[in-house]
Amino acid sequence: MLAFSTGVSLAQAPSNPKPRDHVYLLRGFANVFSLGMDQIATKLQHQGIDTTVDNYLSWPTLAKEAAAEYKSGRVRTIILVGHSSGATAVTEMAARLSELGVPVKLAIGLDPTSHMTASGHVDRYVNYYIANGFGDRVVKGPQFSGVLQNVDLHHMSDVGHFNIDKDRAVQNMVMRDIQAALTSSPPKTAAGDVHGHRTSAAAKPGLVTIGTPIRD
């Protein structure tokens, strides 16, 4: 199921559906600068993964919907991805879901515009950001459970705040992370130091996850 901000579903659910995985993608300010979220959603849809795309301001409503779906047994895995203000909303949505008793398998931020503190039950949180730009790191809060990985992409000279979500290499990283989370396979890491700062420019391969958890 691919649902955009209008809430319109592009596929009918089966009458007796098995528990599904669901990825929520949050666009940033003005709802027009993060159309890479739609591109990632289309790729996920082609793999048969339920996907919802919406503006970052909708995260409280989406959290309520996601919690209801999870508790009903219709959804077994929740993954959150956001760009810019959508990335900051990912942190807030993950915390709200934890308050509602719902775990998040994977949270991914793309260049969040605020310094955020991760909280709640998140198995793995990956923050792709550009240290010398608009983006910022995410830090662990006392209530955070899981692995937090900050990956600085400043060595990718062709990637900036307004195209990080659309860049093919970054989208491949996001897709690999999601695939690893859904298959529960051990992730591989992008080259970097213990803080996730990249030590070499990223190549632009095909679909493949980053990895070995870089811990903050």
Pick from 2, 1, 62: nearest CA to 26? 62
User: pLDDT over 90 for what percent of the chain?
Assistant: 72
pLDDT digits (tens, 9 = 90+) for 87-145: 999 999 999 999 999 999 999 999 999 999 999 999 999 999 999 888 999 999 999 98
User: For residue 73, is pLDDT > 70?
Assistant: yes
Average pLDDT over residues 145-160: 96
Average pLDDT over residues 6-13: 45
Average pLDDT over residues 21-49: 95
Domains (range + CATH), the chain: 2-183 (3.40.50.1820)
Higher per-residue pLDDT: 48 or 16: 48
pLDDT digits (tens, 9 = 90+) for 163-200: 999 999 999 999 999 999 999 744 444 433 333 333 33
- The pLDDT of residue 205 is 30
Higher per-residue pLDDT: 13 or 136: 136
